[in-house]
Amino acid sequence: MNLQVQLRGMPHSGGLDSLIEESLNALRQLIPISSAQVVLEQQRHNSPTYRVFAHLAVPGPDVHAVASDHTLLAAWRKLAGKLKKQFQQRASRQQLRLKGRALCRKVAGQWIGA
């Protein structure tokens, strides 16, 4: 996975990269991620102070999410939760689609055999 992390309004910290990579690796178990662009932003004059953006390139339509909170860790956790929810919804839609195809084949087979 190609990971790009941009920081706006804050100093670079190596711990952030590893936290982001661990979270995204956990999501890769649901759907493969080919590349990820993450922006971490600190807005000193706004409340909540921290905003996080993510753009993930996955099979099918890309996944986007935005979250904000008063701490960077809380904002990242919200974003990771949103991404996980989108991935789970996509996986469940795929499963329903596969079940629907199997049901159509079964019904079509009954009509042909009748």
Domains of the chain: residue spans and CATH: 2-113 (3.30.160.100)
- Which of 63, 72, 70, 71 has its CA nearest to residue 24? 63
pLDDT band (50, 70, 90) for residue 92: confident
pLDDT digits (tens, 9 = 90+) for 57-82: 998 899 999 999 999 999 999 999 99
CA distance 36 to 52: 13
pLDDT-derived band at 55 (thresholds 50, 70, 90) equals very high
* pLDDT of 102 higher than 80: no
Q: What is the pTM of this model?
A: 0.79
